[in-house]
Amino acid sequence: MYSPLDNKVCEEARTFGLKTVKEDFVSNFLKANLPRKRLRKGEIENLEHFRQNLDNKRPKKKPLPVSKKRSLTSRARRKLKLFDLPKEGQKFETYLPMHELWKDYMRQTLGLTDKNKSFDQHNCENILKGDFHGCFLTVSKSCCPSYIGATGLVIMETKNTFKIITKQNQVKCIPKRNSVFMFEIDGHYITLYGNNFCCHPVLRSTHKFKPKKYVAI
């Protein structure tokens, strides 16, 4: 930013024929040192009200606050073995109370508490959005023959598998894809197609299901 020149300097400049020393110097200086895009219209004509920072220093931006709460990554979960169930030492009788709680939950979910209402599993969307921890599942069809007939309580559900414990205290991991499951509650036999369950159990309650073509098994 410049300041007005003294009257003596201006008078001496006029004696040498320099009538506009201040305007010529500042305008020529700005044109020589600034890009054309920064010389807006009217700035050269009104130099008395013009201010320009020639140091080209920008204020430092404050760093964004780093959130202290960070969720564990998938690698950290696997390293800590948070979702690993020991295959040995598990007992079928330990999970029977969970099965009784699940039956009460499923009766309310499917509306079986009201005996006046008829139940149709093909028109019941709550089956797809239900929680199956504690369900007594049976594999009726599968692309792998060794899984057919496996029966047990669901003790863990992941995106692509059901982990069940059998009456022989064996923990088995059954893939959902291309498998058909079945369970019974109050005399109703309900069939589950594993291809419709290939998503995280938490997200299934808000997931919009679309009809899929099932692979022949």
Q: Show me where the domains of the chain are located.
A: 7-49, 88-205
To the question of domain 88-205 being in CATH 2.30.30.210, the answer is: yes
**Is-above-0.85 flag for pTM?**
no
Q: Which of 101, 100, 129 is nearest to 192 (CA)?
A: 129
The CA distances from residue 88 to 84, 91, 165, in Å, are: 12, 9, 11
How many residues are present in the chain? Answer: 217
Which positions of the chain have pLDDT values less than 70? Answer: 1-27, 30-31, 34-59, 65-69, 116-124, 207-217
Q: What percent of the chain has pLDDT over 70?
A: 61
Structure confidence by residue, pLDDT tens digits, 33-57: 766 665 555 555 555 555 555 566 6
pLDDT single digits (tens) 127-139: 888 889 999 999 9
Beta strands in 53-201 (DSSP E): 136-142, 151-157, 161-165, 171-175, 179-185, 188-193
